[in-house]
């Protein structure tokens, strides 16, 4: 039985997992779970992940959620280069240091642009300007720490080579960029890092991974976006209420 | 210079590290950083962790922040039993899954429960509306259910028959609302039985020692106004 991945490429952690599997040449079967059609809320998907979230990995009868856990599992299970998840004591600890910081400071913060600009208005809601501003301040503080504490003068977040951390991080930062707020503006060091990661991954894979999000934006701009499913409203409202 | 751990046992990830190091006989120098006195905001501590948070580790000239990273560093560096972070790929992935999940779920809710119920009103002298407190406790309740249904299920420990880092990180979180006076185990016999197993696996004395501060948190005297002013921005960012 081969590996299967349940993803929606509109989601940042899903894109990180997708990029990793594709770049390292791990064969997998893709199951698209369209969040805006409420496909994560079905009975069928609850069997895959009772928490009703993507990404999820299936390996035989083993199901695993949480993007960082999936990336680590794939790094160990498949023959990928050591550089993705370095085994030596200090580098290993550094990656986990990044992942812990990421959970507190990056995750949850960089997704807000999409909710404030597109999804909330589609639901007839308006996110108060004050919250949008607070979110921009939060992003800006996080970007400063990312630059000063993690990237510094290195090519990638952990050193001279790409790791899982770069994928997790960059895909979160791409979310506001895609939906109209360029977080790299005025940050040449981070912008240069983004270019290095993009170059490493290759233009084709990069475009393929971001096409669904760009397509979603395009449909929204042209006013042809499918209506959100009412079933999705409760979970969307919860997400909106969580905007700090 | 040997291993130094910068901790405040008021903090839940610090308690997890303290218990892990003690339980496994890892020798370390304890450097207490008193959060309520603002010691984490000092220049001296910024040398250890520029992000000004505990826990932090110093081992020679290697410094490290973030509790999960510190636990894994200690696990890999010292000879400790495998069950804490099992070799078996799928069991290990389950520990990783739990550790990733808890950041935005159990940790967030336990922290907010303590601050909304005790720390803000009692220590900081800030009124919390009953609606906010009720919402916080309701969210905690939902998360406890997930902990029981998705992670614990009918197993002895979160990942299998033996204790792992996941259990340690989870229990030290739960002791936050317990310290605040929430009945987290009431009506949850499975979670209550798990709690007793974790306490026994760690050893009752060590468990009690690590939780002395949090179990007396309601008696904390009000913070000095100047210290309070220094602490509030960090507090608000942390519990948002
Ligand atoms: N910490 C998780 C986050 C998973 C998550 O929040 N996924 C979102 C999409 S980015 C989701 O499935 N949301 C659906 C919902 O919450 O209803 C990870 O890194 O995998
Ligand atoms: N994700 C970090 C959290 C660290 C953290 O937030 N520590 C708190 C105490 S529990 C702290 O130092 N707060 C001080 C502040 O933010 O000003 C970890 O697991 O180590």
User: Which structural domain, as residue segments, surrounds residue A153?
Assistant: 84-241
ipTM of this complex: 0.96
Residue in B closest to A242 by C-alpha: B240
**pLDDT by residue (tens digit) across A173-214?**
999 999 999 999 999 999 999 999 999 999 999 999 999 999
CATH number of the structural domain B84-239: 1.20.1050.10
Task: Tell me whether residues B65 and A92 touch, CB distance under 8 A.
Answer: no
- Cα within 13 Å of Cα(B175), Cβ side: 29
Of B50, B90, B103, nearest to A104 by CB-CB distance is B103
Distance from CA of A182 to the nearest CA of B (A): 24
**pLDDT by residue (tens digit) across A133-174?**
999 999 999 999 999 999 999 999 999 999 999 999 999 999
Ligand nearest to the CA of B172: 2
In the three-class reduction of DSSP (H, G, I as helix; E, B as strand; rest coil), residue B78 is classed as coil
Contact A197, A184 (CB under 8 A): no
Looking at the structure, tell me whether residues A54 and A151 fall in a common domain: no
Residue in B closest to A55 by C-alpha: B97
Residue A219: in which H helix or E strand, if any? helix A203-221
Break chain B into its structural domains and give their ranges: 3-80, 84-239
Looking at the structure, tell me whether residues A134 and A187 fall in a common domain: yes
Q: Is it the case that residue B64 has pLDDT exceeding 70?
A: yes
Residue A212: in which H helix or E strand, if any? helix A203-221
CA–CA separation, B233 vs B240, rounded Å?
11
Task: Tell me whether residues B65 and A244 touch, CB distance under 8 A.
Answer: no
Q: Which CATH number do you get for residue A137? A: 1.20.1050.10
CA–CA separation, A108 vs A103, rounded Å?
8
Kindly report the pTM of this predicted structure. 0.97
The per-residue pLDDT for B239 is 86
Two tokens, residue B235? 């507090």
Q: Which atom of ligand 2 is nearest to the CA of B11?
A: 10
CATH number of the structural domain B3-80: 3.40.30.10
Beta strands A56-59 and A3-7, pairing class = antiparallel
DSSP string, A74-133: HHHHTT--GGGS--SHHHHHHHHHHHHHHHHHTTTTTTHHHIIIIIHHHTT----HHHHH
Looking at the structure, tell me whether residues A225 and A191 fall in a common domain: yes
Contact A93, A116 (CB under 8 A): no
Task: Tell me whether residues B66 and A101 touch, CB distance under 8 A.
Answer: yes
Contact B56, B48 (CB under 8 A): yes
Looking at the structure, tell me whether residues A211 and A228 fall in a common domain: yes
| Percent of chain A clearing pLDDT 70 (strictly above) | 99
| pLDDT band, residue A231 (cuts 50/70/90) | confident
Distance from CA of A91 to the nearest CA of B (A): 10
| Domains: count for chain A | 2
Distance from CA of A221 to the nearest CA of B (A): 32
Ligand nearest to the CA of A38: 1
Q: Which atom of ligand 1 is nearest to the CA of A65?
A: 20
């Amino acid at each position: 039985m081969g590996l299967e991945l349940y993803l929606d490429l509109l989601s940042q952690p899903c894109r990180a997992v997708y990029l990793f599997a594709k770049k390292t040449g791990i064969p997998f079967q893709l199951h698209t779970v369209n969040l805006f059609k409420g496909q994560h809320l079905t009975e069928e998907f609850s069997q895959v992940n009772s928490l009703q979230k993507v990404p999820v990995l299936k390996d035989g009868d083993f199901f695993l959620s949480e993007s960082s856990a999936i990336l680590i599992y794939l790094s160990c299970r498949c023959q990928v280069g050591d550089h993705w998840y370095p085994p030596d004591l200090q580098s290993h600890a550094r990656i986990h240091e990044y992942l812990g910081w990421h959970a507190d400071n990056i995750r949850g913060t960089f997704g807000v642009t999409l909710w404030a600009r597109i999804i909330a208005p589609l639901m007839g809601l308006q996110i108060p300007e004050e919250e949008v501003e607070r979110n921009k301040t939060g992003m800006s503080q996080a970007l400063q720490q990312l630059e000063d504490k993690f990237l510094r003068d290195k090519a990638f977040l952990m050193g001279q080579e790409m790791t899982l951390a770069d994928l997790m991080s960059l895909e979160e930062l791409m979310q506001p960029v895609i939906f109209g707020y360029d977080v790299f503006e005025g940050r040449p060091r981070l912008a240069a890092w983004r270019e290095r990661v993009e170059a490493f991954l290759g233009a084709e894979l990069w475009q393929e991974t971001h096409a669904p999000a760009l397509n979603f934006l395009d449909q929204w701009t042209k006013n042809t976006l499918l209506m959100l499913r009412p079933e999705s409203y409760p979970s969307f409202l919860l997400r909106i209420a969580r905007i700090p | 210079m040997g291993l130094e751990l910068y901790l405040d046992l008021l903090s839940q990830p610090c308690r997890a590290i303290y218990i892990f190091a003690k339980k496994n006989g890892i020798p370390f120098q304890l450097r207490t950083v008193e959060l309520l006195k603002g010691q984490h905001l000092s220049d001296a501590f910024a040398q250890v962790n520029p992000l000004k948070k505990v826990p932090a580790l110093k081992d020679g000239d290697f410094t490290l922040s973030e509790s999960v990273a510190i636990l894994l560093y200690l696990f890999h560096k010292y000879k400790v039993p495998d069950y804490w972070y099992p070799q078996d790929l799928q069991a290990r992935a389950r520990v990783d899954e739990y550790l990733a999940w808890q950041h935005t779920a159990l940790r967030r809710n336990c922290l907010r429960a303590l601050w909304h119920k005790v720390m803000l009103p009692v220590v900081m002298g800030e009124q919390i509306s009953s609606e906010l407190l009720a919402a916080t406790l309701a969210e905690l309740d939902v998360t406890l259910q997930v902990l029981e249904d998705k992670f614990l299920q009918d197993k002895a420990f979160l990942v299998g028959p033996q204790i792992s880092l996941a259990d340690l990180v989870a229990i030290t979180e739960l002791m936050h609302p317990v310290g605040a006076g929430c009945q987290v185990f009431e009506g949850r016999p499975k979670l209550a039985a798990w709690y007793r197993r974790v306490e026994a696996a760690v050893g009752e004395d060590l468990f009690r020692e690590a939780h002395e501060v949090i179990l007396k948190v309601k008696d904390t005297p009000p913070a000095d106004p100047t210290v309070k002013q220094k602490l509030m921005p960090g507090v608000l960012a942390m519990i948002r």
